[in-house]
């Protein structure tokens, strides 16, 4: 159908009659403008989608999950300001204080000692507090003190002092409890006896008397409770050693580090079963002699024990015959080479990662009997045993005295377990960190008793272990926080964050308990802190993700993003330049 133009009927609303060529000119301009606007809109919307949706999406999907860690609390803990507190009771027996002085007793004094410890990063402060209570003795205590022997045991029966505290009884000069040259007696439990000297008493006020007594009481505290040097040694991870402290370095190297459990292995080495048929009642011996010590030490760690017998295992060193002693000797220098060949044969029953203590009983073969260990002064060592730091001990047990030359071989020998276990127990004490100090002059220390450990020795061990655990756990947590901060692409799972939080809480509780003086709880919390911090630090998921050097990162992202970004950028530039051109034209038109 064709259009009909009606002549003469044209109104205002009729179609305008453009000449055809003008129509053609208008159309392309409109189309071009339309197209351009559409293009600009498209470019702008793509850019908007990329920036608003794409960039956050990429950021979120390439982010590593990092749970929240209590970093500020960890920083506070890193300062490690230790407050240790011990309760001391000083009891005056009759005859030590005058009636006027007696009126002023009971009295409580608090002594604070502030020490600075040179740490790795910063100076640390340590406050040692002794809360001393003074009082006079009760009737029952006086009766106990009158007994000539075992006074401290009967005193102990009256009142058992809690863990970490001490009682010092001051007895008059006339008392016959202590021998002549001894002024201080340190008992098996947590009691000590101090003998007052005549010139201390006469005509002085209570304050002067206390001041006179103070140096002796301080010495007692140094021996029976913690001291500045002990705590410094326990902090040895974080503290630089002064060169004069060689003995304490040796002590810290010898004892095993604090661990939640230990494995103890007893081995009987019989290199010559043809001549000696050895029998040792290890189960009974362990139950009677070793188990009491381990039960006493149970707040510190779990212990598991086993035993074995090895045949045809020789020492790695050939002993030499010494005619002056009519025996074979091993001198101190060659002992270091004994352990390695034996250790290869020992095997291990341990399924856990706990440290292993090995105790070996070596019975020399008949051609090298008797065998004695000589020290560097060529004198016989009475125990005939030696130990190696952080490894265990070896004892040589000679059986040639049990039979003559005409007996029938193999000879059946029953090993005297009491003697053997006495040596092993002494070695065990040393390896577990019970320090053997030389007491000051005028001091007499009671023997450790059948368990092998005095109560105050246990307290000392608990103090130093608590401090060591707290220091180690703090260092672990601090270095973990630092590590996670430094390496940005390690994933921190929720369970790690939870372990860290529980470690921080346990540490804070442990330090609070130490400040108050509850040694048992402090040790328990410190153990929990160490377990949690080790679990967090050694979690397998924390392995450092592969390191991406910058040039590799660019190499991966450029082929993905550059082809997409170039058209967007260019079209943005084009829009901007067109807008600028239009503005210039408008300004030109106005002028």
Partner 1 sequence: MLCYTSLDILDIQWIWQFFSSGHTNNWAVLVCTSRFWFNYRHVANTLSVYRSVKRLGIPDSHIVLMLADDMACNHRNPKPATVFSHKNMELNVYGDDVEVDYRGYEVTVENFLRVLTGRLPPSTPRSKRLLSDDRSNILIYLTGHGGNGFLKFQDSEEISNVELADAFEQMWQKRRYNELLFIIDTCQGASMYERFYSPNIMALASSQVGEDSLSHQPDLAIGVHLMDRYTFYMLEFLEDIHPASKTNMNDLFKVCPKSQCVSTPGHRTDLFLRDPGSVLITDFFGSVRKVELTMDAINLTDPIKQMEEDPVNGEEQKEVYSYADQLPVSEIIHQKPKQKDWHPPDGFILGLWTLILLVFFKTYGIKHLKHIF
Cα(168)–Cα(216) distance, integer angstroms: 11
Q: Does 418 bind partner 1 (CB under 8 A)?
A: yes
The answer to the question of residue 568 lying near partner 1 (CB under 8 A) is no
| Residue 347 C-beta: closest distance to partner 1, Å | 9
Tokens at residue 339, please? 């352990």
Stretch that binds partner 1, among 64-72, 296-304, 439-447, 556-564 (CB under 8 A): 439-447
Q: Is 325 in the site for partner 1 (CB under 8 A)?
A: no
Instruction: Give every CB contact of residue 169 below 8 A, 6+ residues apart in sequence.
Output: 91, 93, 137, 141, 145, 155, 191, 192, 193, 194
Distance CA 215, CA 184 (A): 12
Beta carbon nearer to partner 1, 246 or 583: 246
Measured from the CB atom, the residue of 391 and 521 that comes closer to partner 1 is 391
Question: Which range in 21-29, 401-409, 425-433, 507-515 contacts partner 1 by CB under 8 A?
Answer: 425-433
The answer to whether 254 contacts partner 1 (rule: CB under 8 A) is: yes
Please pick, from the candidates 8, 19, 549, 559, the single residue that binds partner 1 as defined by CB under 8 A: 549
Does 302 help bind partner 1 (rule: CB under 8 A)? no
Near partner 1 in 346-375, by CB under 8 A: 348, 350-353, 373, 375
According to the binding rule CB under 8 A, does residue 289 interact with partner 1? yes
Q: In what order do the strands lie in the sheet with 320-322?
A: 320-322, 327-331, 371-374
239 counts as binding partner 1 under rule CB under 8 A:
no
240 binding partner 1? (CB under 8 A): no
Q: Can you read off the two tokens belonging to residue 570? A: 């260019």
Give the other-Cβ count within 10 Å of 582's Cβ.
10
> d(Cα 176, Cα 195) in Å, to the nearest integer?
10
Residue 532 near partner 1 by CB under 8 A: no
| Spatial strand order in the sheet of 443-445 | 107-118, 123-136, 82-92, 166-171, 191-195, 184-186, 443-445
Candidate list 26, 45, 208, 287; residue touching partner 1; CB under 8 A: 287
Q: Among 332, 491, 568, 572, which residue sits at the site for partner 1 (rule: CB under 8 A)?
A: 332
439 binds partner 1 (CB under 8 A): yes
Question: In angstroms, what is the minimal distance from the CB of 498 to partner 1?
Answer: 17
As measured in angstroms, the least distance from the Cβ of 494 to partner 1 is 18
Of residues 309, 343, 501, 502, which one binds partner 1 by CB under 8 A? Answer: 343
* Rounded Cα gap, residues 185 and 191, in angstroms: 9
Region for 449 from its dihedrals, namely left if φ exceeds 0, alpha if ψ lies in -120 to 50, beta otherwise? left
The encoded tokens of residue 176 equal 């016959």
d(CA 6, CA 15): 11
Distance CA 180, CA 567 (A): 103
* Count of residues that bind partner 1 according to CB under 8 A: 81
CB 322, min distance to partner 1, A: 17
Q: Which listed residue (9, 324, 405, 436) binds partner 1 by CB under 8 A?
A: 436
Q: Residue 257 interacts with partner 1 (CB under 8 A)? A: yes
Among residues 368, 387, 460, 465, the one that binds partner 1 under rule CB under 8 A: 387
Q: Is 389 in the site for partner 1 (CB under 8 A)?
A: yes
Q: Which of 92, 266, 386, 397 binds partner 1 (CB under 8 A)?
A: 386
* Residue 45 in contact with partner 1, rule: CB under 8 A: no
Cα 79 to Cα 93, 471, 475, 536, 537: the distances in Å are 44, 10, 10, 21, 20
Q: Does 515 bind partner 1 (CB under 8 A)?
A: no
Rounded alpha-carbon distances, angstroms, from residue 22 to 19, 29, 30? 6, 12, 13
């Amino acid at each position: 159908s064709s259009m009909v133009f009606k002549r003469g009927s044209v109104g205002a609303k009729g179609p305008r009659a453009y000449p055809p060529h003008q129509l053609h000119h208008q159309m392309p301009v409109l189309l071009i403008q339309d197209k351009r606007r559409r293009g600009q809109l498209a470019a702008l919307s793509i850019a908007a989608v990329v920036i608003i949706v794409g960039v956050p999406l990429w950021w979120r999907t390439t982010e590593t999950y990092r749970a929240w860690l209590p970093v500020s609390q960890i920083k506070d803990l890193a300062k490690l300001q230790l407050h240790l507190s011990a309760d001391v009771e000083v009891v005056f027996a009759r005859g030590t204080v005058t009636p006027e002085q007696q009126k002023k007793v009971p009295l409580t004094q608090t002594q604070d000692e502030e020490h600075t410890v040179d740490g790795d990063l910063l100076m640390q402060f340590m406050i040692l507090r002794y809360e001393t209570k003074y009082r006079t003795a009760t009737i029952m205590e006086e009766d106990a003190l009158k007994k000539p022997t075992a006074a401290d045991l009967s005193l102990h029966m009256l009142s058992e002092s809690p863990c970490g505290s001490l009682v010092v009884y001051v007895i008059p000069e006339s008392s016959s409890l202590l021998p002549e040259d001894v002024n201080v007696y340190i008992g098996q439990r947590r009691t000590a006896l101090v003998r007052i000297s005549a010139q201390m008493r006469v005509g002085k006020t209570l304050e002067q008397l206390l001041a006179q007594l103070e140096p002796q009481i301080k010495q007692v505290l140094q021996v029976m409770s913690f001291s500045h040097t002990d705590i410094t040694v326990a902090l040895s991870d974080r503290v630089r050693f002064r060169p004069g402290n060689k003995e304490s370095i040796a002590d810290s190297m010898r004892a095993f580090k604090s661990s939640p459990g230990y494995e103890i292995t007893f081995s009987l080495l019989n290199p010559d079963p043809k001549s000696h048929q050895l029998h040792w009642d290890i189960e009974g011996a362990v139950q009677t002699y070793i188990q009491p010590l381990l039960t006493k030490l149970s707040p510190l760690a779990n212990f598991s024990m086993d035993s074995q017998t090895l045949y045809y295992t020789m020492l790695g060193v050939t002993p030499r015959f010494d005619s002056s002693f009519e025996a074979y000797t091993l001198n101190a220098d060659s002992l270091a080479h004994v352990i390695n060949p034996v250790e290869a044969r020992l095997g291990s029953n341990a399924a856990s990662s706990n440290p292993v203590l090995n105790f070996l009983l070596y019975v020399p073969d008949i051609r090298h009997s008797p065998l004695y260990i000589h020290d560097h002064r060529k004198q016989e060592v009475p125990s005939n045993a030696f130990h190696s730091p952080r490894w265990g001990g070896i004892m040589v047990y000679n059986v040639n005295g049990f039979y003559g030359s005409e007996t029938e071989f193999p000879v059946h020998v029953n090993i005297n377990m009491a003697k053997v276990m006495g040596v092993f127990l002494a070695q065990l004490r040393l390896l577990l960190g019970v320090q053997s100090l030389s007491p000051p002059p005028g001091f007499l220390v009671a023997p450790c008793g059948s368990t092998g450990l005095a109560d105050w020795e246990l307290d000392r061990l608990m103090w130093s272990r608590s401090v060591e655990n707290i220091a180690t756990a703090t260092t672990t947590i601090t270095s973990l926080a630092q590590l996670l901060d430094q390496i940005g692409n390690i994933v921190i799972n929720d369970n790690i964050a939870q372990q860290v939080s529980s470690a921080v809480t346990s540490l804070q509780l442990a330090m609070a308990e130490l400040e108050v003086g509850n040694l048992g709880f402090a040790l328990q919390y410190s153990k929990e802190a160490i377990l949690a911090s080790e679990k967090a630090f050694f979690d397998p998921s924390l392995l450092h993700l592969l390191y991406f050097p910058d040039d590799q990162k660019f190499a991966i992202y450029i082929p993905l993003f550059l082809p997409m970004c170039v058209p967007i950028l260019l079209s943005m530039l084009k829009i901007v330049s067109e807008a600028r051109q239009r503005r210039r034209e408008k300004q030109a038109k106005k002028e």
